Protein backbone atom coordinates (compact mmCIF):
# COMPACT_ATOMS: atom_id res chain seq x y z
CA UNK A 1 0.00 0.00 0.00
CA UNK A 2 1.31 3.41 -0.98
CA UNK A 3 2.11 5.77 1.83
CA UNK A 4 0.76 9.31 2.03
CA UNK A 5 2.99 12.01 0.64
CA UNK A 6 3.80 15.32 2.28
CA UNK A 7 4.86 18.73 0.98
CA UNK A 8 8.52 17.71 0.57
CA UNK A 9 7.49 14.67 -1.48
CA UNK A 10 5.32 16.95 -3.60
CA UNK A 11 8.28 19.30 -4.12
CA UNK A 12 10.38 16.34 -5.27
CA UNK A 13 7.67 15.30 -7.72
CA UNK A 14 7.28 18.84 -9.01
CA UNK A 15 11.03 19.27 -9.58
CA UNK A 16 11.39 15.91 -11.33
CA UNK A 17 8.46 16.67 -13.60
CA UNK A 18 10.28 19.80 -14.72
CA UNK A 19 13.65 18.01 -15.11
CA UNK A 20 14.01 14.27 -14.59
CA UNK A 21 17.75 14.47 -15.27
CA UNK A 22 18.46 16.11 -11.91
CA UNK A 23 20.98 14.25 -9.79
CA UNK A 24 20.07 13.52 -6.18
CA UNK A 25 22.54 16.25 -5.15
CA UNK A 26 20.86 18.82 -7.41
CA UNK A 27 17.39 17.74 -6.32
CA UNK A 28 18.26 17.89 -2.63
CA UNK A 29 19.66 21.41 -3.08
CA UNK A 30 16.51 22.59 -4.86
CA UNK A 31 14.21 21.39 -2.09
CA UNK A 32 16.56 22.20 0.80
CA UNK A 33 16.89 18.64 2.10
CA UNK A 34 19.97 16.55 2.84
CA UNK A 35 21.16 14.25 0.07
CA UNK A 36 20.44 11.05 2.02
CA UNK A 37 16.96 12.16 3.11
CA UNK A 38 16.18 13.20 -0.45
CA UNK A 39 17.41 9.85 -1.81
CA UNK A 40 15.25 7.91 0.70
CA UNK A 41 12.17 9.91 -0.24
CA UNK A 42 12.88 9.50 -3.93
CA UNK A 43 13.30 5.74 -3.51
CA UNK A 44 10.01 5.52 -1.56
CA UNK A 45 8.17 7.56 -4.20
CA UNK A 46 9.42 5.12 -6.84
CA UNK A 47 8.67 2.01 -4.74
CA UNK A 48 5.16 3.25 -3.91
CA UNK A 49 4.39 3.96 -7.57
CA UNK A 50 4.15 7.76 -7.41
CA UNK A 51 6.98 7.89 -9.94
CA UNK A 52 6.11 5.50 -12.74
CA UNK A 53 8.98 6.25 -15.13
CA UNK A 54 11.35 8.88 -16.44
CA UNK A 55 11.31 9.99 -20.05
CA UNK A 56 12.78 12.47 -22.50
CA UNK A 57 10.34 14.89 -24.13
CA UNK A 58 10.86 14.99 -27.89
CA UNK A 59 10.06 17.87 -30.25
CA UNK A 60 7.29 16.52 -32.53
CA UNK A 61 8.10 18.92 -35.38
CA UNK A 62 11.76 17.93 -35.46
CA UNK A 63 10.96 14.21 -35.68
CA UNK A 64 8.37 14.71 -38.41
CA UNK A 65 5.07 14.25 -36.57
CA UNK A 66 4.10 17.87 -36.09
CA UNK A 67 0.36 17.51 -36.75
CA UNK A 68 -1.66 16.77 -33.64
CA UNK A 69 -5.06 15.17 -34.25
CA UNK A 70 -8.00 14.44 -31.98
CA UNK A 71 -10.04 11.55 -33.35
CA UNK A 72 -13.64 11.35 -32.16
CA UNK A 73 -15.14 7.86 -32.25
CA UNK A 74 -18.67 6.59 -31.86
CA UNK A 75 -19.55 2.92 -31.98
CA UNK A 76 -22.77 0.95 -31.92
CA UNK A 77 -20.97 -2.04 -30.43
CA UNK A 78 -20.12 -2.26 -26.76
CA UNK A 79 -19.58 -5.99 -26.23
CA UNK A 80 -16.39 -7.40 -24.69
CA UNK A 81 -15.16 -8.92 -27.97
CA UNK A 82 -15.42 -5.60 -29.81
CA UNK A 83 -13.74 -3.78 -26.93
CA UNK A 84 -10.84 -6.27 -26.97
CA UNK A 85 -10.41 -5.76 -30.74
CA UNK A 86 -10.58 -1.99 -30.34
CA UNK A 87 -8.04 -1.96 -27.52
CA UNK A 88 -5.66 -4.18 -29.47
CA UNK A 89 -6.03 -1.98 -32.56
CA UNK A 90 -5.43 1.40 -30.92
CA UNK A 91 -2.54 0.11 -28.82
CA UNK A 92 -0.84 -1.25 -31.95
CA UNK A 93 -0.55 2.16 -33.65
CA UNK A 94 2.46 4.19 -32.48
CA UNK A 95 0.87 7.33 -33.95
CA UNK A 96 -1.94 7.08 -31.38
CA UNK A 97 -0.56 8.61 -28.20
CA UNK A 98 -3.72 8.68 -26.06
CA UNK A 99 -7.03 6.82 -25.95
CA UNK A 100 -9.88 7.83 -23.67
CA UNK A 101 -13.30 6.22 -23.11
CA UNK A 102 -15.73 9.08 -22.63
CA UNK A 103 -19.03 9.78 -20.96
CA UNK A 104 -21.72 11.62 -22.89
CA UNK A 105 -22.12 11.84 -26.65
CA UNK A 106 -18.77 10.38 -27.72
CA UNK A 107 -17.58 6.88 -26.98
CA UNK A 108 -13.83 7.45 -27.41
CA UNK A 109 -11.38 10.27 -28.04
CA UNK A 110 -8.01 9.37 -29.50
CA UNK A 111 -5.02 11.68 -29.64
CA UNK A 112 -2.52 11.08 -32.45
CA UNK A 113 0.65 12.62 -33.86
CA UNK A 114 1.21 12.38 -37.60
CA UNK A 115 3.23 14.15 -40.29
CA UNK A 116 0.30 15.61 -42.22
CA UNK A 117 -3.32 15.05 -43.31
CA UNK A 118 -2.28 12.27 -45.73
CA UNK A 119 -0.56 10.44 -42.87
CA UNK A 120 -3.73 10.83 -40.80
CA UNK A 121 -5.77 9.34 -43.65
CA UNK A 122 -3.45 6.32 -43.77
CA UNK A 123 -3.89 5.90 -40.00
CA UNK A 124 -7.66 6.20 -40.36
CA UNK A 125 -7.75 3.58 -43.13
CA UNK A 126 -5.67 1.14 -41.06
CA UNK A 127 -7.86 1.73 -37.99
CA UNK A 128 -11.19 1.09 -39.70
CA UNK A 129 -9.73 -2.02 -41.34
CA UNK A 130 -9.01 -3.47 -37.89
CA UNK A 131 -12.23 -2.62 -36.05
CA UNK A 132 -15.74 -1.57 -37.10
CA UNK A 133 -16.68 1.97 -36.02
CA UNK A 134 -20.03 3.75 -36.43
CA UNK A 135 -18.69 7.27 -36.80
CA UNK A 136 -15.19 8.71 -36.89
CA UNK A 137 -14.31 12.37 -37.20
CA UNK A 138 -11.05 14.21 -36.73
CA UNK A 139 -10.10 17.65 -35.51
CA UNK A 140 -6.66 18.93 -36.44
CA UNK A 141 -4.86 21.15 -33.97
CA UNK A 142 -4.18 24.55 -35.49
CA UNK A 143 -2.22 25.93 -32.52
CA UNK A 144 -1.00 24.29 -29.34
CA UNK A 145 -1.60 26.86 -26.66
CA UNK A 146 -0.59 24.60 -23.79
CA UNK A 147 0.87 21.10 -23.90
CA UNK A 148 2.41 19.66 -20.77
CA UNK A 149 3.03 16.41 -18.95
CA UNK A 150 3.39 18.21 -15.61
CA UNK A 151 0.72 17.31 -13.04
CA UNK A 152 -0.24 19.93 -10.43
CA UNK A 153 1.22 17.97 -7.51
CA UNK A 154 1.89 21.01 -5.33
CA UNK A 155 -1.77 22.06 -5.31
CA UNK A 156 -3.89 20.76 -2.48
Residue 95 lies in a domain: yes
The CATH number given to whatever domain includes residue 41 is 1.10.10.10
Does a structural domain hold residue 53? no
Q: What is the pLDDT of residue 1?
A: 65
Average pLDDT, the chain: 96
Same domain for 75 and 121, yes or no, is yes
Confidence of residue 129 (pLDDT cuts 50, 70, 90): very high
Q: How does pLDDT run across 17-34, given as a tens digit for each residue?
A: 999 999 999 999 999 999
pLDDT class for 154, splitting at 50, 70, 90? confident
The reply to whether 132 and 93 lie within a common domain is yes
Domain that holds residue 108: 67-140
* Distance (Å, whole) CA 59 – CA 48: 31
Residue 132 lies in a domain: yes
Q: What is the pLDDT of residue 3?
A: 78
In the chain, the percentage of residues whose pLDDT exceeds 70 is: 98
Task: Identify the weakest region by mean pLDDT among 1-10, 123-132, 137-146.
Answer: 1-10
Cβ-based neighbours of 34, under 8 Å, separated by 6 or more? 28
pLDDT grade for 156, boundaries at 50, 70 and 90: low
Sequence-distant (≥ 6) Cβ neighbours of residue 147 within 8 angstroms: none
Q: Are residues 42 and 84 in the same domain?
A: no
Beta-bridged to residue 67, according to DSSP, are 114
* Shared-domain flag, residues 71 and 119: yes
Task: Verify that 79 and 122 share a domain, yes or no.
Answer: yes
Report yes or no on 153 lying in a domain: no
- Considering the domain boundaries, does residue 41 fall inside one? yes
Statement: residue 155 has pLDDT above 80: no
Residues sharing a CB contact under 8 Å with residue 121, sequence separation 6 or more, in sequence order:
none
Same domain, 100 and 37: no
Is position 11 within any domain?
yes
The model's pTM: 0.88
| Pair 74, 132 in one domain | yes
Task: Work out the percent of the chain whose per-residue pLDDT is above 90.
Answer: 96
- Looking at the structure, tell me whether residues 24 and 79 fall in a common domain: no
CATH assignment at residue 91: 3.30.70.920
Number of domain units in the chain: 2
Tell me: do 35 and 90 sit in the same domain. Answer: no
Amino acid sequence: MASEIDSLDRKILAELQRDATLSVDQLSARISLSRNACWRRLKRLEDDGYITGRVALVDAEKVGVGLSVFILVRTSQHDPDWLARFRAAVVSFPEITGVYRMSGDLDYVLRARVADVKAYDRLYQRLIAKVPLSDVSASFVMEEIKETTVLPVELR
